[in-house]
Chains A and B, each alone.
Chain A
């Protein structure tokens, strides 16, 4: 029933066919660009608060949460109308967040405050603030919902939060400027990318011990400019696609051997990414060139660039 409501409303807006979309936040334009996956074109541009970065949908896709960093708030938007339904208290300068599997608690990194804020999206109140390292950024939550992760860019750590007690139970060092964290779908591994370190650290979730590290080498690009940021796993978890920042490439990493298999040339300063519903296409946000590159996942090549707003940052799928 819940899924039907946006469907009907969308019909009322007379869109010819319901196709999946990629939502991209434009950090320097205060907008979201909506890309239609069928046509690979921007079909809507929606205004947001100031400096939108992190973006994620509720589990039923009836709401979209947007970190409006410079407005110091998380906006809750109706994806059908593009209207802001309400705002959530987020703590100062929210940059990234992750929605707990319970579909209710948002874990938010407050970049300027060295704090992770936990917000209840139903009561719209802050239920906890957890002190973490300087410049928290990457956020992840384990599939079973028991562990939340914050990475801190200047402290260079992954902070492991027990979601029940909402306290840190481990802090693990990674290389310089950790930007993004993801659990594998089974939850047995945590991956953390380090932008300045140029690596991804792979941790065993149970022991929080580092079990591997991935390095990158792009031909013709100085190693200093190969800076891993966002990454996503394919459904079979055999491959991770890793955005390599100012090297303007995305790496395809074998998730078992941790070896890089391919480098794909994309737009400038590639940042984050999102898959199409069947994971046949990958959409990367390219901050400096202000566009989104569409990658054919099977062929591992870029097939199109789509102009969006200034400094596209986050990307999320709306199926």
Chain B
């Protein structure tokens, strides 16, 4: 009997701990951008691209939060083209230390460099820009979308495993095309393959009507190659290349076999569940940017759950530590590179209909983590903000 008060006290303490309420306000901040015109009208761009992924992760976090006494909230701010992004960011940072960014690289930097952003934790979920993970990195920015180089490394590991060593490249003229083409070339060199020919796609003609006449001649000049790479990140001409090439060759890169953060055809490792939850929520399939935003919000949730804290400094330290792991439905725990804040993750190589392979390919070993064979490794990165 004498022990009873103590027991009750313990119980009460337990209950208090379990219900220690923590508020975790987050902001999803999007800078709307102009999208260049493309030849085909077949692709639609969902207005909630990225945002829907963040919403799904918010729901996931909220469910966990009900058992932990953690209250997650997310406000969405969309800044129109020409709007006051910095003003919106200041407003967001006044209410929240956790900002999910859907904005071009230059805008990510503008926000990251604000005084009010210094104690905050920002997530880049939309830019694959290399510099953001390299010399332009910021200690308050984590990246959940894979970099261009992670994607190109994934594809080159696959090509190397197939012994498709002779490569040809057709690149578009848009900035993102050029960046991806650069990454492809860098990866080819990294894995010991040669780029035997390169051409730039600068046609004015409407390929919807004459791809069958133009593409064979255009690709004839590429000479001998095993694999034809396409850098057409805006989805302009790439779709007209396959089956119209001079030589019968597989097509990969932005078209054909595509290295991605996520695709509707990813179904292993419990991914089918994530896909169906996303479809129920958004009434469309999940895309790479949705996945990146989902991973960002889930990262916050996972870190809050494990640390019981909403202090951005505590969470950042935990997220960058070896203890952090995110179950990301890609068969391996996901974690962050503590030299540049990039989320390390497997890269699915997909066609429209199936997953062909998932990088890292077997045999690509690494002293720390096989996932670090994709993208900028610690010795290659000139990021010093994380030191």
Binding site for B on A (CB under 8 A): 111-112, 114, 131, 133-135, 153-157, 159, 168, 171, 173, 175-177, 195-198, 222, 224-225, 246
B76 within 8 A of A: no
The answer to whether B370 and A224 touch across the interface, beta carbons within 8 angstroms, is yes
Q: How far does the Cβ of B55 sit from chain A's closest Cβ, in whole Å?
A: 14
Q: List 9 A-B contacts (CB under 8 A).
A: A112-B273, A114-B63, A134-B60, A155-B60, A168-B67, A176-B325, A176-B326, A196-B332, A224-B370
| Separation of A282 and B327 alpha carbons in the complex (Å) | 30
Taking CB atoms, residues of chain A closer than 8 Å to B87 are none
In the complex, A135→B64 CA distance in Å?
Answer: 11
Residue B331 CB within 8 A of the other chain: yes
CB pair B63 A176 closer than 8 Å: no
8 Å CB contacts to A: which residues of B71-118? none
Query: Are A224 and B327 in contact, with the CB atoms below 8 A?
Result: no
Q: Provide the residues of chain B in CB contact with A114, threshold 8 Å.
A: 63
Within 8 Å CB of A195, what residues of B?
327
Q: How far is the CB of B242 from chain A (nearest CB, A)?
A: 29
Using A176-B326, A197-B325 as known contacts, say yes or no to A225 and B332 having CB atoms under 8 A apart: yes
* With A112-B276, A173-B306, A224-B333: A133-B67 Cβ-Cβ less than 8 Å: yes
Q: Are B305 and A154 in contact (CB under 8 A)?
A: no
Q: Are B67 and A157 in contact (CB under 8 A)?
A: yes
Q: Give chain A residues whose Cβ lies under 8 Å from the Cβ of B332.
A: 196, 224-225
User: Which A residue's beta carbon lies closest to that of B335?
Assistant: A224
Judged by a CB distance under 8 angstroms, whether B270 is at the interface is: yes
Contact of A154 among B68, B327, B371 (CB under 8 A): B327
Residues of B at the A interface (CB closer than 8 Å) are 18, 59-60, 63-64, 66-68, 270, 273, 276-277, 302, 305-306, 325-327, 331-333, 369-371
Say how far B272's CB is from chain A's closest CB, in angstroms.
9
Q: Are B64 and A134 in contact (CB under 8 A)?
A: yes
Are A156 and B273 within 8 A (Cβ)?
A: no
B331, A246: Cβ atoms closer than 8 Å: yes
A175 to B324, CA, bound (A): 10
Contact check, B67 vs A176: say whether CB atoms are below 8 A apart.
no
Residue of A nearest to B371 (CB): A224
CB contacts (< 8 Å) of A134 on chain B: these are 59-60, 63-64, 277
- Closest chain B residue, CB of each to CB of A70: B272
B346 nearest CB across to chain A (Å): 9
A155–B63 touching, CB < 8 Å: yes
Min C-beta distance of B302 to chain A, whole Å = 8
Decide yes or no: A196 and B325 within 8 Å by CB, A112-B273, A134-B63 being known contacts.
yes
CB distance from A103 to the nearest CB of B (A): 30
A228–B80 alpha-carbon span in the complex (Å): 48
Bound-state Cα–Cα, A159 to B66, Å: 12
Q: Identify the interface centre among B18, B305, B326, B332: most chain A CB within 10 Å of its CB.
A: B332
Closest to A224 in B: B332
Are B64 and A155 in touch, CB under 8 angstroms? yes
Contact in complex: A135, B273 (CB < 8 Å) = yes
| Chain A, Cβ-Cβ closest to B62 | A134
Contacts of A222 in B (CB 8 A): 370
> Inside 8 A of A197's CB, which chain B residues have their CB?
325, 333
**In whole angstroms, what is the CA distance A111 to B273 when docked?**
8
Closest A residue, CB atoms, query B18 = A171
Residues of B within 8 A of A112 (CB): 273, 276-277
Nearest-Cβ distance from residue B330 to partner chain A, whole angstroms: 10
**What is the CA–CA distance of A288 and B380 in the complex, to the nearest angstrom?**
37
A contact residues around B325 at 8 Å (CB): 175-176, 196-197
What is the CB-to-nearest-CB distance from A199 to chain B, in angstroms, rounded to a whole number? Answer: 11
**When the two chains form their complex, are residues A154 and B60 in contact, meaning their CB atoms are under 8 A apart?**
yes
Cβ-closest chain B residue relative to A198:
B333
Query: B327 to A177, Cβ gap below 8 A?
Result: yes
Closest to A245 in B: B331
Contact assessment for A135 and B270 in the assembled complex, using a CB-CB cutoff below 8 Å: yes
Q: Which one of A112, A134, A135 has the greatest number of beta carbons of chain B within 10 Å?
A: A134
Nearest Cβ distance between residue A142 and chain B, in whole angstroms?
20
B302 partner residues in chain A, CB cutoff 8 A: 156
Determine the distance from Cα of A112 to Cα of B63 in the docked complex, in whole angstroms.
Answer: 13
**Residues on the A chain within 8 Å of B59, using CB:** 134
Using CB atoms, name the residue of chain B closest to A225. B332
Q: Which listed residue (B66, B305, B333, B370) contacts A173, Cβ 8 A? A: B305
Q: Which residues of A contact B306 (CB under 8 A)?
A: 173
Chain B residues with CB below 8 A from A168, complex form? 67
- Identify 7 new A-B residue pairs, CB closer than 8 A, beyond the known A157-B67, A224-B333: A112-B273, A112-B277, A134-B64, A156-B64, A156-B305, A156-B327, A171-B68
Q: Which of B270, B276, B370 contacts A177 (CB 8 A)?
A: B270
Q: How far is the CA of A173 from the CA of B68 in the complex (A)?
A: 10
Question: What residues on B are CB-neighbors of A175 within 8 Å?
Answer: 325
